[in-house]
Structure 1
Amino acid sequence: MDVFAVPADRPRGWYLSLMAPNTKGSEFAWLDPSRLYCNSQALADCVQDLLGPFHRDPVDLVAGIDAMGFILGTAVATTLGKGFLAIRKAGHLCVATQTQNYSDYTSREKSMEVRLDVLKPGVRVLLVDQWIETGGTMRAAIQLVEKLGASVAGVAVVAIENTEGGKWIKENYKFSQCVPQELQAQIDGKYLDSFKIFNK
């Protein structure tokens, strides 16, 4: 598959077919969304699709979750003309922080942190990450934002799986994802028909 090929009509989510399947086993996520970022048009269209529901909403700051959320988050922030805040894995910031424990998609216990001098009451934050599987990582990011008195303007990710955690986020926060409804079942089944091209 040519990662730089762009279809003439560019239907919503066309770039999802650029994502690559996992070839390294169960310790890794079941696919690699970052392959679509290698195509400049795919990245631009992905960002526009993520921002669709939020164009009329007040957003003061974009926050991206360590690590792949940094890529989409900075692209979203630049498009909106807003600042970017990194929500990091614990132990990486050299300033005073608020921390939050969580379980990631592999059920490993982890902690993330955010600096204390940016999130204040009244600040409306758009949270951006690459993927929501169990929802544990995004939920921890939401808790960090709200602990410091800021509010979550929304959640924007490439895809949200319909797990218990994914459904909780969809039910409680405004969200956007790049996945068309007709592909949701494939996302939930952890296999995309477009993977067939990688087996040729």
Structure 2
Amino acid sequence: MAGKTQTRFPEAAAALKEHVRLVPDFPEEGVVFQDLTPVLADADAFGTVVDALAQAAVEDGADLIGGLDARGFLLGAAVAYKLGLGVLAIRKQGKLPPPVHTEEYALEYGTAALEIPADAMDLKGRKVVLVDDVLATGGTLGAAAKLLASTGAEVVGNVVVLEVDGLGGREKLGDVPLSVISQDTVEA
């Protein structure tokens, strides 16, 4: 088991249970997509989830939040604002002008790449907590960690809202702490 898993966010877990929409066979057959859109659209649920994410991020010692494209942008930006920190948007390939740092990775249903600007900021020595919506195979968070390491930053925590059991995602995160806001997960 990689790092630690917190299970102490009962209000956020209840909000998620009430609002997450499960979409079978999306984006392809056999995948159950956990849609957080209804959570984000409900002010109370959104606030409760952001509070839980922020608590986990501050405990991991963040001085910068890394929000993963795309729902991680929304969550990460809210967490960074709440904590008085900056947010680094970690983009899908092709969304940023060059020069960029790029890291390719495998998804549970294909391949992708992440990018950050290569010359817009100095990340050396920064302590980054990565924020994303769902941990599945661990490919996205793992690629983001490698990408940031290549710039001299250190990923000190991974904070996600939900986890898909059975895909081995947490094992790919090494010893970096993992906080999962709700343990009511969907099996692969």
Asked whether the two chains share a fold, i.e. TM above 0.5, the reply is yes
In the other structure, the counterpart of 2:16 is 16
Q: How does 1:1-200 map to 2 (within 5 A)?
A: 11-17=11-17, 18-22=19-23, 25-27=26-28, 29-106=32-109, 108-116=110-118, 117-162=120-165, 163-169=167-173, 171-180=174-183, 183=184, 187-189=185-187
Structure (1/2) with the larger helix percentage: 1
* Alpha-carbon shift at residue 24 of structure 1 (Å): 6.0
* Alpha-carbon shift at residue 83 of structure 1 (Å): 0.9
- With 171-180 and 52-61 compared, the bigger mean Cα shift is at 52-61
- With 86-95 and 24-33 compared, the bigger mean Cα shift is at 24-33
In structure 1, how many angstroms separate the alpha carbons of the residues matched to 2:12 and 2:34? 20
Structure (1/2) with the larger strand percentage: 2
2:163 corresponds to which letter in structure 1?
I
User: Which structure has the larger Rg?
Assistant: 1
Unaligned runs of 5+ in 1: 1-9, 191-200
In the other structure, the counterpart of 2:6 is none
* Alpha-carbon shift at residue 175 of structure 1 (Å): 1.9
In structure 2, how many angstroms separate the alpha carbons of the residues matched to 1:143 and 1:76? 22
Cα contact 1:153–1:174 (8 A) shared by 2: yes
Q: Count how many residue pairs are aligned between Structure 1 and Structure 2.
A: 174
1:114 corresponds to which letter in structure 2?
I
In structure 1, how many angstroms separate the alpha carbons of the residues matched to 2:93 and 2:156? 24
Cα contact 1:119–1:145 (8 A) shared by 2: no
Tell me the alpha carbon deviations over residues 16-75 of structure 1, each in whole angstroms, 9 at most, x when there is no partner.
Answer: 121012156452652212211111111111111122234344322111111111110111
Tell me the alpha carbon deviations over residues 120-168 of structure 1, each in whole angstroms, 9 at most, x when there is no partner.
Answer: 2211111111101111111101110111110012111102334322233
The secondary structure found in structure 2 opposite 1:11 is helix
Query: How well do the aligned residues superpose, as a CA RMSD in angstroms?
Result: 2.0
- Pair 56,139 (structure 1): closer, same or farther in 2 beyond 3 Å: closer
Cα contact 2:60–2:177 (8 A) shared by 1: no
1:113 corresponds to which letter in structure 2?
E
Superposition TM-score, scaled by structure 1 size:
0.78
Cα contact 1:66–1:86 (8 A) shared by 2: yes
Superposition TM-score, scaled by structure 2 size:
0.83
